[in-house]
Structures are given as C-alpha cells and as structure tokens.
A and B are shown apart, each in its own frame.
Chain A
C-alpha cells in the first residue's frame, strides 16, 4: 500500500485496541482451555494429597510430550480445514525404522532416516491432498491403514529395545530446583514456540489461516493454496519426526503396536485446545494446553482411584464442550 498521505492521528485511532490486553486475552481462544486446565489442577489438588507436587507435575509434562508433539503437527493441518488420521502411524513407522536401523547401525543416521520416512509419508499425504485435491480424511485414513500393516510387516510384529544414548536423550534433563525437566519437555515447548511464531508472526502463518478459513478467497488474493497446503503437511511431517524421537526417549522400545490411538488423541488435544475442526481458528498454544488437560485427567483420576473408564468419559465431555463452543462462536459471528 502506498504511503502517500500523512497519517491522520484521529483516523489511525481506529487501529488501536480498546479494552487493553486483559480483554484481548479473555476473548482469545487460549482463555477457555487455560481455565479448564487450571480448574482440573485445582480439583485434583484439593481431592488428592499426591497430585500437587513437583514430581507429579513434571511427570504430567513428561507424559504429555509424545501426543503433545504429534498434536502440534495436527494443529497445522486442522487449521487448513484438513485432518491427519495417519500421524500416529507415521510416527510409529519412523520409530520402528529408527529402532531397527539403530540396532545394528549408527543412531544418528537412524534418526535421519526417521526424518526422511516422515517427510516422504507426510509429503505423500500433502501431494495427494494439495495436488490432486483429495479429501484429507480419506487420504490419511488410507495411509493409516497401509502404515499400520507396513510397520508390523517391517518388524514382524517385534519390538526393538532402544539403548543408544542419542535416541533416548529426550528422557534425560536437568533438575531445576528439585523439578526434573526433560529435554523432551523443553523440545515440546520449543516447538510450540517456533510454530506459534510462524503462525502468528509470518506471512506463511497468515496464509495457513486464510487457506483454512476461506480457501476460495485466499486463492483470489493470489495465494498459492496448493503450495501452502503442501508446506503444511511437510512441516507437520518434521514435527512428527520429533514426536518419534520423543517416543523413543519416553519408552525406550520401538513398538509397532504402540500408540494405536495417538492419532485420535492428538485430535482430542487440538480440539480441547480450542482449534476449530472447520479450519482457520485456533493455534498451537491452545493445543499445548489441550494436551496437558488430557494428561492431567488421566493422571489425576488414576491417583484419585477412579475407574479408568471415567477418564474417557471426562475427555469425551470436554471434546463435546469444545466443539459446542466453537460452533457457538462461528454461528454467532456469521450472521
């Protein structure tokens, strides 16, 4: 836009926010999930004697990293109004490839091979969805089915124990003031920060939201929609490779039958975190909180001695609430 006229202070005023940062935060999508997380923590702190202590809280963070990292990639895809049912299977495939190659080879190369596996599979999803305009639900469902079988065939349904220090390093970490913080948790926070920056502070991020929000309008403004979609699936694939590394650190076994519901768990975290399944709304910080909420429920309810099935009930109720809130937000504003 050309800056030919001097800025008129009175006119510029309409560019300023009214109500300040507090109001901006309350109306943001992070406020709801954060309130739910705080509430859950409060309830378990008051009802059990073992929940609120440094050890347990750091355990909760550690337990969240694998699905939490997967959910970051899932968030990118859901923001474009897509969905990835194959992310858990891609991660498991990468993990078993890493595990098998590291058994009789170099761990670093195995890790690189895992990244390549993720990029190839994520790229396959991306090309089918962007170039050929196939629906993400079906494409990733198909890839999920193929990969679930492929991982078992590749490993003959065997698990590979992981002994390499490099592969399990994400389970280590310093103790800060008596609280153990693993490198895996740091990596998860770091990835959230980097993706959050990319989504909110770069042109790429704005375009990801635009493509998910109104694809036709995005295309009319000259945005290369297919290229944006492909970039999203490839970025998510890199995130899944980190998730595979996280998984090997957390459970030092490359297990082809593990993480069978990680895809749905990651979608749960995304939805509870306030990202709309219809695309264009939400973000990775909400997802980070969403993943923590799911873990807090499992951890707290187990400690309170409540039947595990109620964890699923509680998580399900939260998902329905999140979807209802999203529906309310969208219909109220689309007059």
Chain B
C-alpha cells in the first residue's frame, strides 16, 4: 500500500513550549486513519502543520512521495488537502449548491462568463446533485437552504464539499462533536463512503467508539509526538486510552500496525 501523506521529524517550539517533538506521521492510500490524543498532546499543531496553517521549525512533509513546503492553508488546499472543521463550516442562508461551490464557483462558458461573469448554475446544480448522490446523502432539493437541514445533514454538506474538492487527502477535525447519536452515525457512514470513493481520510476525534468503529489504523499522539500506530482489530479501546494518557507504555501493545 502506498503512503499518501508522510511526515518525518516534525518539530515546533513556541518559546519554551514544545508543541511538536520530532513527530512522524503516515497516511496510506485508501485508509481512514484516526488521530487520538489527550487535550494538549499537540494533535492540532500536527494537523495544522499538515494543512499549512503552521510551518514546522524542522522536519519534512511529503505528499505522494514528493517533499512539500506549505506556506499557508491555500498551498495545502492547492495540493489537494481539504479539511472539515469542528464548527460547522457552512453558510446557512445559502443553498446546498452554493455551499458546495463556495469559493470555487463555475462560470458560464464564453462571452457570458468572461464578460458578464455569469455563474453556470445548472452545471453547478448537476455537479452538487451528483456529489450528494455519490456520498448517499439524501435531501429534498439541491436548492434547499442549508439552514433548513438538520445538524447531521449540514455536516454532511460540509463533508461533501470537502470530498468534492480534495484530490489527495481529506482531514476531519472532530466532525461529530456537535451531533447526536443518529446524526453521528450518518456522518461516520459518510466518512466510509469518502474512503470507498478513493480518498484517504484523517479523522481527529475524542470519541473512542467512533474511532474504533471506522478507523483502519490509529495514530496515538502524546507529548507532541506519535508514540504508537496501532490496528484497532488487535488493540482494545481500554489499551489505546491507557497508552494515550500515559498509563501504559506503547511497547506493551503487541499489535503494531
């Protein structure tokens, strides 16, 4: 299996605080990789480094085998890395199509598009309908305003948006934190659909049952670095939490992935 996104020896200091301490990261093609860690373990700095929001002091990041240097989030986005954020990243008064294409609107071909900057609404509607269908998201109409959707459906729109534009990696930062049980399951199903459609997913979550339900591998982060990379089929939830909190040494886990 090829590695899509890889990091080696990432380090980041903020004054005397070490946010990343020589950490590694590996994401393979076609997998859901969960990243877990206690609060303050440095997960979010790692994710920010991978998405261009933070520039590491040292270490390397490679995307599909080539070393990359993201200067900002736009660089990472251009490289095909898209992120779904914990807070709902949708505009409620806009409709589903407008949200899916926000910031990447398509214009009409020819004169209407170049001179009058006219949007190609039919094409965007077709594209959104296809994207929603590909991910199995059911809504009444693609022209529905997002505010008329349930919380789960809204997050589904956010996921659909990101999955539509990502060409190499989808990162999801606590995508179910604000959702109820049923809606959480919808979004987890969606994450699996994204993987089936060919994109590897990095899932940052505090919710261990969720992680064990969908992850192919689990990256355990502690004190600024990856201390274990485990297979959820050969590790129990209790063991993973124990390693994450330092109650157990990583070496005690047998099944390294």
Which A residues are within 8 Å of any B CB, using their own CB? 1, 3, 5, 7-8, 11-12, 14-18, 197, 201-204, 206-207, 209-210, 213-214, 216-218, 220-223, 280-281, 330, 333-335
| Contact (Cβ within 8 A) B130 A5 | yes
| Contact (Cβ within 8 A) B129 A11 | yes
Contacts of B139 in A (CB 8 A): 14
**Chain B: interface size category:** 35 or more
| Contact (Cβ within 8 A) B77 A222 | yes
Stretch in B10-18, B82-90, B201-209, B245-253 touching the partner: B82-90
| Contact (Cβ within 8 A) B91 A7 | no
| Contact (Cβ within 8 A) B74 A15 | no
B130: contacting residue among A11, A17, A214, A334, CB under 8 A: A11
Contacts of B91 in A (CB 8 A): 209-210, 213-214, 217-218, 280
Check A3/B141 contact, CB under 8 A, given A206-B98, A206-B105, A213-B92: no
B148 within 8 Å of A (CB atoms): yes
B134: contacting residue among A5, A16, A197, A280, CB under 8 A: A5
A157 to B145, CA, bound (A): 51
Total A-B pairs in contact (CB under 8 Å)? 123
Residues 101-144 (chain B) with a chain A CB within 8 angstroms:
101-105, 107, 116-119, 121, 125-134, 138-143
B131: contacting residue among A1, A197, A202, A218, CB under 8 A: A1
In this complex, the member of B85, B90, B161 whose beta carbon has the largest number of chain A beta carbons within 10 angstroms is B90
Contacts of B74 in A (CB 8 A): 222
Given A201-B118, A210-B91, A210-B98, 11 new contacts (CB under 8 A): A1-B127, A1-B131, A1-B165, A3-B127, A5-B130, A206-B94, A210-B94, A213-B91, A214-B92, A217-B91, A218-B102
Check A210/B102 contact, CB under 8 A, given A204-B117, A333-B148, A335-B150: yes
- What are 30 A-B residue pairs whose CB atoms fall within 8 Å in the complex? A1-B101, A1-B164, A1-B165, A3-B130, A7-B126, A7-B129, A8-B130, A14-B129, A14-B141, A15-B141, A201-B116, A206-B94, A206-B105, A207-B103, A209-B94, A210-B94, A210-B102, A213-B92, A214-B90, A220-B83, A221-B103, A221-B104, A221-B161, A222-B103, A222-B104, A280-B92, A280-B94, A281-B93, A330-B147, A333-B147
